[in-house]
Structure 1
Amino acid sequence: MMPDNSMMTPEQLIGLNQDHLINIENNSELLGQTFQCHHEVLIPIAKLIRQSEMDGVPLRIVSSYRSFERQAEIWNNKFNNDVELNLRDGTTVQSFELTPQERVNAILHYSAIPGTSRHHWGTDFDVFDAASIDQGYEVKLTQEEFDEGGPCSNLDEWLDYNLEKFGFFKPYREDKGGVACEPWHISYKPIADKALEEFPVEFLKDILRQKDIGGKDHITSRLESLARKYVYTICSE
């Protein structure tokens, strides 16, 4: 029996190993974009990008693969510094106004615990509509950008119509009580579903205990329930 090259090791699933990835440089045929993705996702994402170009809604990748270390930087910046945190109801709060437990809960609305991000798998991408960006426009990746009348409303509609044709879906299309709605986040279902099935919760718990992660005692003590809410709770179609 031939080996399944789409399967990932525990280290790869939590962003500690990149052997499953392929690097796309901006001088490639992929429309001038630079990113990393799972080697089996290259052709599907290339086809999706090309179709978007043909349809006049040029899809651009804002974020693709993210390592454990990079996710830890994002997380620790929000936990260890007095920064403004976005909440799912559209309001904001300063992180230092919250207890450590409350801070963990607030950060989780939009930022994953290191090791739990779907971006570790190389299957998931944050995207934006290049045709709608004014020169110098700073992409924020907010719900308002994808709402009717926003700079990505056309892309949002295009994605809803075309993603499934190429094997992609929006895991956070609706707010299911875990990660807040992210209409910009797309995922290649055939590989991502396998990654989710194999997600190594106990292995990650051991790794987190060894790492410098803000609030890790509040995370590791309830990692199973946090994983159910923020890793496994998605819009599966």
Structure 2
Amino acid sequence: MMTPEQLIGLDQNHLINVVDNSELLGQKFECHHEVLIPIAKLIRQSELDGVPLRVISSYRSFERQAEIWNYKYNNDVELNLRDGTTVNSFELSPKERVDAILHYSAIPGTSRHHWGTDFDVFDAAAIDQGYEVKLTEEEFEDKGPCSRLDEWLDYNLESFGFFKPYREDKGGVACEPWHISYRPIAEKALKEFPLDFLKETLREKDIGGKDNINSRLESLARKYVYNICTE
């Protein structure tokens, strides 16, 4: 299984780098070595069914997640909220800023993308036609560029061992219909998630709001790490 370092994105030895221009994949990404064949089969079936999916985000390191987090925390930027409104980050207290960022961005070390089991996917046909991907719920709703893909995923994911951990809003991470996860490995990773090790790591890293995060890391993990859709 994965080590604590791998589970929080500090070690990439569990990954395989996919650079394959064959008909099977035709895409470039990194994933857990045991997930390569399942994701390849899923992609191939989507192509055969005329709803080709493209992986637009897969593995993400701790450092990359920290860049995303710190940009939002340390700069006066607009943060998207669940109700569709936005708020300027500098108008918020440290706690409010952490909570606002967590709607759509994980605390470094807590992203499922660290495991190499999770992928953000989109309709390849829309991308090839020049569509600029935004990753919004509207893109996967009726008449959105990924409406057919969304329906195909709901019908086919389970057959290949995948599921949508953020199929619906459960009060933690906002709904992400584009996010799929390989259940056999991801379930083990979640059970072994090293919360104490993460807390020690965050103390040593330059992470915006880390004192506020660490003081309530257990409750934040319950809300944003363990609180997923299991079906």
Tell me whether the two structures share a fold, i.e. TM-score over 0.5: yes
Spell out, residue by residue over 1:169-196, the C-alpha distance to the aligned partner (whole angstroms, 9 max, x if none): 0000010110000000000000000000
Question: How far did 1:134 drift?
Answer: 6.0
CA distance in 2, matches of 1:127, 1:69: 22
Is it true that 1:40 corresponds to 2:34 in the alignment?
yes
Question: How far did 1:130 drift?
Answer: 1.1
Question: How far did 1:26 drift?
Answer: 4.1
Which stretches of structure 1, 4 residues or longer, exceed 6 Å deviation after superposition? none
**Aligned equivalent of 1:49:** 43
Alignment partner of 2:208 out of 189, 206, 214: 214
Question: How far did 1:135 drift?
Answer: 3.5
Q: How does 1:181-196 map to 2 (within 5 A)?
A: 181-196=175-190
**Aligned equivalent of 2:149:** 155
Question: How far did 1:20 drift?
Answer: 0.3
CA distance in 1, matches of 2:23, 2:92: 47
**Aligned equivalent of 2:77:** 83
**Aligned equivalent of 1:104:** 98
Question: How far did 1:96 drift?
Answer: 1.2
Aligned residues: 231
CA distance in 2, matches of 1:233, 1:204: 18
CA distance in 2, matches of 1:29, 1:75: 36
Is it true that 1:179 corresponds to 2:170 in the alignment?
no
What residue ranges of structure 1 are gaps of 5+ in the alignment? Answer: 1-6
The worse-fitting range, judged by mean Cα deviation, of 91-100 and 203-212 is 91-100
The worse-fitting range, judged by mean Cα deviation, of 108-117 and 25-34 is 25-34
Question: How far did 1:95 drift?
Answer: 1.0
Q: How does 1:110-125 map to 2 (within 5 A)?
A: 110-125=104-119
- Matched residue type, 2:123: D
The worse-fitting range, judged by mean Cα deviation, of 159-168 and 127-136 is 127-136
Spell out, residue by residue over 1:135-154, the C-alpha distance to the aligned partner (whole angstroms, 9 max, x if none): 43221100110111101011
CA distance in 2, matches of 1:50, 1:134: 17
**Aligned equivalent of 1:142:** 136
Conserved 8 A contact 1:133-1:151: no
**Aligned equivalent of 2:57:** 63
Alignment partner of 1:234 out of 222, 228, 231: 228
Question: Normalised by the size of structure 1, how large is the TM-score?
Answer: 0.95
Is it true that 1:10 corresponds to 2:4 in the alignment?
yes
- Matched residue type, 2:10: L
- Matched residue type, 1:154: R
SS at match of 1:34: strand
State the identity %. 85
Spell out, residue by residue over 1:26-67, the C-alpha distance to the aligned partner (whole angstroms, 9 max, x if none): 435543200000000000000000000001111000100000
1:16/1:29 CA distance change after superposition, 3 Å: farther
**Aligned equivalent of 1:3:** none
CA distance in 2, matches of 1:235, 1:199: 17
